[in-house]
Amino acid sequence: MALSLRTVLGGLSLVAVLAVSGCNYGFRSGSFPDHIRTVAIIPFDNATNRFELTQEIHQELLRTLPRALGVTNAGEDIADAVIQGRIVRYDMTAPLFRSGQQAGQVDVLQRQVNIRVEVELIDVVENLILWDDAGLSTQGQYLEGESEEVGRAEAIELLIQRIVDGAQSNW
């Protein structure tokens, strides 16, 4: 049973057409809808007495968020999306302690910085909130001999990661 040249060429043509038309799949890295290419990161309002938090969180967001989400920083007036928020709590606790040598004495072994924010990601083009969290909180640990800045830096790093994770959660 021999196949004619015409049958073979017709079959190959059909395979070629199907292959080309079937290759309509693509992959885009990043986490936003296609129309969002730029983001404005607004310094968070601060309801705490730790005024340095606004700058520290803003700097870390500027450094981390665009790269993690595959977008570019832009001014608020030209951005496709806006990240804004409010720092609502900052406190320190001692979650790890033991009884001291003397009666009534407590030895603190570890301290913890707690930060809570309200944050939202707004699609300015479509005028809708893409993601928000009114109770996003993180903790940073530091040992008794270390400074509070160690715990604060860890808490801020975790906070930024949670914001990135939240922004990516819908895509």
Domain span including residue 137: 33-168
Whether residue 4 is contained in a domain is answered as no
pTM passes above 0.85? no
Number of domains forming the structure of the chain: 1
The answer to whether residue 84 is domain-embedded is yes
CATH number at residue 63: 3.40.50.10610
**94 occurs within a structural domain:** yes
* pLDDT, tens digit, 9 for 90 and up, residues 8-31: 445 545 444 444 444 443 344 444
Q: Is residue 18 part of a domain?
A: no
Is residue 116 situated within a structural domain?
A: yes
Q: What is the pLDDT of residues 114-132, one digit of tens each?
A: 999 999 999 999 999 999 9
Calpha distance 110→91 (Å, rounded) = 14
* Residue-wise DSSP of 91-127: EEEEEEEEE-SSTT-EEEEEEEEEEEEEEEEEETTTT
